[in-house]
């Protein structure tokens, strides 16, 4: 079995800027600059032959390239349940369009439909027992963050290797956008 997800990657300058937002929140585990991405669809564990089928199906997606703007930061969960610090994404019909094409390609491969609404974000940090005040301050101080427009001309199938530390993401295939 291999653990998969579909995501957008970012150019190095954008990743550096995103990584540069980190710090100042004890209890936060910051995402390495190399691992920053925007998840389009988490797939989870699948057998290798199904992974090959998924790859073929994703390769058949025809969607236009587009520009994406990152905008602001926020937190998922509140108080003691704050779990994730994220960078936000400006509303983009092209992004939603691509995401729904990915979703239907995966459903055609026999994966169960995603029940949750797509909520595009870039995970900056995962939180454990982080102080509410520090989180509040982070969101306040970094709220003006903006990056882009970023040209999105491909999306990527990633394999996630779980280990003792942070997960290691391996790009398996890239798919061009027209």
- Binding residues for ligand 3AM, rule: CB under 6 A, are 5, 39, 42, 44, 123, 160
Q: Which is nearer to ligand 3AM, 81 or 133 (CB)?
A: 81
At a CB cut-off of 8 Å and minimum separation 6, what does 65 contact?
Answer: 151, 152, 153, 177, 178
Q: Which residues are catalytic?
A: 37, 121
What dihedral do alpha carbons 171, 128, 16, 44 form, nearest 10°?
A: 10
The Cα diameter of the chain in Å comes to 48
Nearest CB to ligand 3AM, comparing residues 44 and 176: 44
| DSSP 8-class letter at 80 | G
> Crossing angle of helices 93-108/48-59, nearest 10°?
140
What residues contact residue 115 under an 8 Å CB cut-off, 6+ apart? none
Our CB check for ligand 3AM shows the closer of 116 and 133 to be 116
Do β-strands 154-161 and 38-46 pair in parallel, antiparallel, or remain unpaired? unpaired
Helix (H) or strand (E) holding 176: strand 168-176
In terms of CB distance, is 138 or 158 closer to ligand 3AM? 158
């Amino acid at each position: 079995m291999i653990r998969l997800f579909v995501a957008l990657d970012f150019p190095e300058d954008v990743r550096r800027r995103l990584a540069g937002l980190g710090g100042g929140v004890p209890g936060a585990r910051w995402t390495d600059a190399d691992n920053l991405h925007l998840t389009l669809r988490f797939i989870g564990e699948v057998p290798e032959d199904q992974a090959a089928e998924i790859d073929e199906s994703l390769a058949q997606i025809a969607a236009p390239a587009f520009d994406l703007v990152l905008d602001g930061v926020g937190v998922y969960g509140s108080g003691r349940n704050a779990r994730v610090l994220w960078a936000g994404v400006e509303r983009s019909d092209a992004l939603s369009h691509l995401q729904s094409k990915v979703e239907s390609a995966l459903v055609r491969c026999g994966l169960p439909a995603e029940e949750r609404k797509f909520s595009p974000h870039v995970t900056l940090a995962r939180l454990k027992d982080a102080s509410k005040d520090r989180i509040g301050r982070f969101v306040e101080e970094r709220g003006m963050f903006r990056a882009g427009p970023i040209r999105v001309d491909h999306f990527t199938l990633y394999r996630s290797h779980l280990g003792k530390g942070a997960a290691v993401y391996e790009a398996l295939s890239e798919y061009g956008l027209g």
